[in-house]
Chain A
Amino acid sequence: MSSRSHARDEAAPDRGNSARDADGEPAPALVFVEKVRNALRLAAVGRAARRLGLVPGLTLADARARIPGLVVAEMDRAADAALVEQIADFCDRYTPLVALDPPDGLILDITGCAHLFKGEANLRDDLVGRCARAGVEARTAIAGTPQTARALARFGATAIIPPGGEAKAVRPLPTAALGIDPDTAIALGRAGLKTIGDLEPRPWRPLAARFGEDLVAALRRTLGREDIRITPRRPLPACSAERGFAEPLLDAEAALGVLASLGGQVMQALERRGEGGRSFEACFFRTDGKLFRLAVETGRPMRDAKALMRLFTERLDALADPLDPGFGFDLIRLSVMAGEPFATAQAGLDGRAVEEEEVAALVDRLGARFGVQAVQRFEPADTHIPERAVRTVAAAARTGANPAWPAPEADMPPARPIHLFDPPQPIETLAEVPEGPPIRFRWRRVLREVARAEGPERIAPEWWRGSGELTRDYYRVEDVSGHRFWVYREGLYEREAETPRWFLHGIFA
């Protein structure tokens, strides 16, 4: 059965929802306000306030006039969004297909997942119960299309709609339940079309002509005549393995042990598919709804559970806050986020292939510990500007043929320094002739007397960049104590600059 659930979480307004205080006094009416068009208006109201007739959209002044003892709080949409994200994380335990329905809703595609929880009703009860324990009230509906479920959860009753019953369930709902913009809903209301049931028998073509194709599409989907996929908020894993616990797991070590055995399972699954994993994600679901995610990436397809566990422990070591079981983990999942065809390499007689494997594994371990971007390789770039002539790329991400580096000229000293400053460091110089090398210069407060010099090597700016750079004349200089530097003069005399500036760009070995 193709079913979808929609969970609506009234997060913000329900925070002050304790019906009565300890001493039996009725809870104060709580409202959340927000500035809309220069007036403070109610953005959300608590249950007590709703009972007193306050509705979102009312100005605060009006609300105060009606209910003098109003408790007012600032609306914090960012915090609400963060809470919804956290609930979405928690919902990952039911299905990998979770989509946000802003501002306060979630859509879960539970196709094929319900049987794992012994039926849709049980799944729903589990979700609502867990939310309630965390202090969040959830309104849910399960139906054949996401739009039907959404309309029912927001405007109808908590329900599980059997397949084919969508149209009947949504007919009594107001047109706003279609998820159309409010102006359209008002315009429809003026035409006497108050409910979805009023709209359905009308000819749809004039409706589309008057209100746009979107209305008809929404109508079709809400009535269950057309089904579209939701866009999940996280990428779908290639395959995954998970284990739930009736009794929460309180020990982080034990959790890692479970992860290791899950590693064995996903590797078997990968082997059946003829693939190896490039990117893995471990999810530790805590009973209190918090979720820990750990992700590792590898430079080449991997099918070794032991090596995977080493990467995860490296990753854990690098975390500022350790894996905290709190009140225990009740579900642990290991997903392969990306797989690639796995070629079983034949070990050469010289062991070169084995060595390459080992180096790749080292790169993965270092990447897991210090971040993939921290482990780099050099790549030449097609330019003469020294600071752009080399790119560093993540070693794990580099593919393809090894780039060719220019071989050094025979019996000539290196033409480029071993250390390069980016940006180049300004120096004060004293030059004997305008077009010559400096005879002494001051770098980092030390005066250096030039004993030998070679140059210039002229590097012209790349005019096609249009960045207004100047021509550089590079000199290799050696001072009397034997330090070799790479300095340049920026700008040609009298053509590009009146008094050219000098820079130190690198240090030679």
Chain B
Amino acid sequence: MHRFMRSPMAASWALASPVVLILTFFLLLPIGMITALSFWGSTEFSIYPAFQFDNYEYLFGSSVVRAVFIKTFTFAVITWAITLVIGFTVAYFLTFHVRTLTWQVVLFMVCTIPFLTSNIIRMISWVPFLGRNGIANKTLMDLGLTQEPVEWLLFSEFAVILAFVHLYSLFMVVPIFNTMMRIDKSLIEAARDAGASGFQILTNVVIPLTKPGIMIGSIFVVALVMGDFITVRFMSGSQVANVGRLISNDIGLLQYPSAAATAVVLLCTVLIIIAIMLKFVDIRKEL
């Protein structure tokens, strides 16, 4: 063991090998399998090995599929914009307005804790709020803002986006807070001494220096929303479709080749978006 450790390369490989094995068997191989399967053929009752582009032809030809992809993008963009504003504001407050490290840590923990509880439960917990006889409708009617209960609160696209923001804004807060805390406070002093207004400090100093954190948070949120299927299913009451639901419906119907083809297209889409985002930040440096 000792002599082996002397060769740094071999030691690194030995240490990394379990991770390599697990990711090969449970990530790369499955992705390869899905890709292969996406070229298979299927009938109503069975699937058979083949190398044909039927599944892809159907995908790219269908206007329904196109609409579903557009919907998925829309969810991602709206959720991204809202979580960005929330994440930046919360991180800014914690970094520049909370004065002691202890309080910063405590308030940061308070933000983090819900993220460590069950997503399913957090979705369910919107029901008494948004339901037909829920708190939101009661309040609206008591205030006389509406006569009838508002129907689009629960089981709607509104509910889906609300739940996304609720579940994923943490992924924005954490990396932005992390980069913001590393901003040298004397830079802000210098800007102020040079006569910059608060707004100018924000746009010329804070935001540029926070960009890596914003990018990392954006990558998380976009990937999670694009790949989701359960939030959309639950919060829309199965009335709205996104790509993830397309895949899970096909799986439910045992149409694996079709599910696999959709999955491959989704994967490529997500990876391309992320690759573009990575152009703006060197992730290895930012850790």
The answer to whether A and B belong to the same complex is no
Q: Which residues of A contact B (CB under 8 A)?
A: none
